[in-house]
Amino acid sequence: MSTLETIFGLHGRVALVTGSSRGIGAAIAVGLAGAGATVVVHGQSIDATVGTVAAIEASGGTALAFAADLAERGAGRRLVEEVEARLGHLDILVVNASAQINAELADLTEADFDLQVAVNLRSTVEMLQTGLPRMAARGWGRVVSIGSINQLRPKAIVTAYAATKAAQHNLIQSQARDYASHGVLLNTLAPGLVDTDRNAGRKAADPQGWDDYVRTLNWMGRAGQADEMVGAAIFLASDACSFMTGESIVLSGGY
């Protein structure tokens, strides 16, 4: 086995990627499987995971599908427990599933606020409460939280989303300190604008306006692609990240 395979390889590891039925989560799930991990693909329904599971298996990887609505109280805890029960251990947790509702503070409804807090923050707390002690007992673990450039530079149109992402990274930092001595490392990967189906409606409604916006958004003059998040995710999930915890990697094209 080469040095790169030793450092970045994930053979024998089990990874859970929440919200991996599409977009960034799907790309990361396929990437982790390509690095050798057994990947648990998660969606709100089993049907939603079919495409990602098929892509992993077509490349020779191993994937299992799990369904859970992370807006439900206790769903994050149950999801981790079910993965542990079925596979024996969970080594890598990628916290990717999120709810994002465009609304400035004056227009933010109670229901929309509660949904974003439940999915983006409460389910993260539940998964960490359940998964971290088990990782620590085994002496190795990785948590990769998919944050957002909005945790650092919040836009008013995503007031609640930005606040939950900032809180999520704060949570990652606090637990990174507590678990560092146990070989469990927690970091955040914070994308800028990425061209996924989350932005498809905006792009389709005003193609020229979209092009003008992304051209001036960052130094690269374009939106990122989901596949461009994969390399950093593999790094944060692997032994290559052995001296890094509580940090945030920003992939924004120089935003």
**pLDDT tens, position by position, 167-222:** 999 999 999 999 999 999 999 999 999 999 888 887 888 889 989 999 999 999 99
DSSP 235: H
State the pLDDT at residue 18. 98
**Least reliable range by pLDDT among 49-53, 73-77, 215-219:** 215-219
| Tokens coding 78 | 């149950």
Q: Is a pLDDT exceeding 80 seen at residue 61?
A: yes
- The backbone torsions φ and ψ at residue 55, rounded to the nearest 5 degrees and listed phi first, read -65, -40
State the pLDDT at residue 200. 81
State the pLDDT at residue 2. 67
Q: Is a pLDDT exceeding 70 seen at residue 106?
A: yes
State the pLDDT at residue 247. 98
Contact 101, 116 (CB under 8 A): yes
pLDDT in tens, 220-239: 999 999 999 999 999 999 99
State the pLDDT at residue 255. 87
DSSP 66: E
Neighbouring C-beta atoms of residue 69, cutoff 10 Å: 14
Share of residues in the chain with pLDDT > 90 (%): 91
Of 25, 144, 23, which is closest to residue 91 (Cα–Cα)?
A: 144
Active site residues: 161
Interatomic CA distance for residues 211 and 193, integer angstroms: 13
The full 3-state SS of 2-53, as one line of letters, equals CHHHHHHCCCCCEEEECCCCCHHHHHHHHHHHHCCCEEEEEECCCHHHHHHH
Q: Is a pLDDT exceeding 90 seen at residue 74?
A: yes
Q: Is a pLDDT exceeding 70 seen at residue 1?
A: no
175-186: b (≥16 Cβ within 10 Å) or e: bbeebeebebbb
Strands (E), the chain: 14-17, 38-43, 62-67, 92-95, 141-146, 184-191, 248-251
DSSP 215: H
Please state the pTM of the whole predicted model.
0.96
Of 168, 178, 188, which is closest to residue 241 (Cα–Cα)?
A: 188
Q: Which amino acid is at 69?
A: D
Q: Is a pLDDT exceeding 80 seen at residue 3?
A: no
Give helix then strand counts, H and E, for the chain: 10, 7
